[in-house]
């Protein structure tokens, strides 16, 4: 790549847990999960360019909430890929921070993809990067998947019906460790994954019978999550908290329904972050 070439860009798509079952806890204290994960077409932007030194600049609506130096997950990902090379990395932070949609993990995964292209190196197996964060392996592919274990096991899922989603965050950060600390039980049944999902109604019916085991404890820490779910439930067959919160997701069968629902929420609660996007 010449110095005047365009930067390499990667979209760090939001990671949305449509289900999240806590199925156990290992002796080291890490929780075992079973989750259906999807990636709407919305996210942060990673750009990388050649440089002698490794650096990170931040911008975007939520860039001020992050540190551009030290132990930032983007820089950790770059050093894990090759700690002897340099690159100028820019992170355009569009997703809320600490919001249950894998922003940091998606940024790290997008950084790995972008730097692998810049440095012309091969990425290792996805599970190799779980030390960066439980969501990094699944974010590397950024396609619908079943995530199990502590994030190291990624498997295929049946074809999803056409979907749009609305993501809403009420502007509160929920500490993941505190949510896990309030779990009533850590040994819960796994997902009952069908052989096929069928159409939108059949898919959302199945989802409604599954769970996010972190939603009840998160509600005790941030009751406003309940307000978000109530607002989304007025326009959607399915609404649920993603990850450890506080972002919630609602599903819609088409673009028009999703855009209408998002506009309704923005008018009612201009202080909430709200976006509609197709689910790839």
196-241 per-position pLDDT tens digit = 999 999 999 999 999 999 999 999 999 999 999 999 999 999 999 9
61's tokens: 């609506």
Task: Clarify whether 15 is annotated catalytic.
Answer: yes
149 and 36 housed in the same domain: yes
Question: Which tens digit of pLDDT belongs to each residue from 22-54?
Answer: 999 999 999 999 999 999 999 999 999 999 999
For the residues 4-28, what does the mean pLDDT come to?
A: 94
CB 239 within 8 A of CB 171: no
CATH code, domain carrying 185: 3.30.70.890
135 is catalytic: yes
Establish if 2 belongs to a structural domain.
no
Q: Which residues of 91-103 are buried (b: 16+ CB within 10 A; e: fewer)?
A: bbbbbbebbbbbb
Is 200 a domain residue? yes
Domain count, the chain: 2
**Nearest of 174, 202, 173, 215 to residue 35 by alpha carbon:** 215
Same domain, 207 and 268: yes
* Last residue within a domain, chosen from 97, 131, 154: 154
Domain coverage including residue 187: 158-278
- The whole-number average pLDDT for the span 58-84 is 85
Among the options 34, 44, 107, 135, which is catalytic? 135
Take residue 273 and report the two structure tokens written for it.
């972050």
Instruction: Tell me, yes or no, whether 145 and 172 share the same domain.
Output: no
């Amino acid at each position: 790549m010449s110095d005047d070439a365009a930067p390499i860009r990667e979209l760090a798509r939001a990671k949305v847990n449509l289900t999240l079952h806590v199925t156990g806890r290992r002796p080291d204290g890490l929780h075992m999960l079973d989750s259906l994960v999807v990636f709407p077409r919305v996210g942060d932007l990673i750009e990388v360019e050649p440089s002698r030194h490794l650096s990170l600049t931040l911008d975007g609506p939520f860039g001020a909430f992050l540190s551009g130096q030290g132990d930032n997950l983007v820089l950790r990902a770059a050093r894990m890929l090759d700690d002897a090379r340099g690159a100028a990395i820019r992170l355009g932070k569009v997703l809320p921070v600490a919001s249950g949609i894998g922003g940091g993990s998606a940024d790290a995964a997008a950084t790995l993809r972008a730097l692998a292209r810049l440095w012309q190196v091969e990425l290792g197996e996805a599970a190799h990067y779980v030390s960066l964060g439980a969501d990094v392996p699944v974010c590397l592919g950024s396609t619908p998947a079943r995530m199990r274990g502590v994030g190291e096991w990624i498997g295929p899922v049946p074809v999803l019906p056409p979907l749009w989603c609305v993501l809403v965050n009420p502007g509160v950060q929920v500490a993941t460790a505190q949510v896990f600390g309030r779990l009533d039980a850590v040994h819960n049944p796994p997902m009952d994954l069908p052989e096929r999902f069928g159409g939108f109604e059949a898919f959302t019916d199945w989802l409604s019978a599954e769970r996010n085991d972190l939603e009840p404890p998160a509600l005790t820490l941030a009751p406003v999550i309940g307000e978000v779910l109530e607002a989304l439930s007025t326009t959607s067959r399915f609404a649920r908290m993603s990850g450890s919160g506080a972002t919630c997701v609602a599903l819609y069968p088409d673009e028009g329904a999703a855009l209408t629902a998002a506009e309704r929420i923005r008018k009612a609660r201009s202080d909430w972050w709200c976006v509609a996007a197709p689910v790839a």
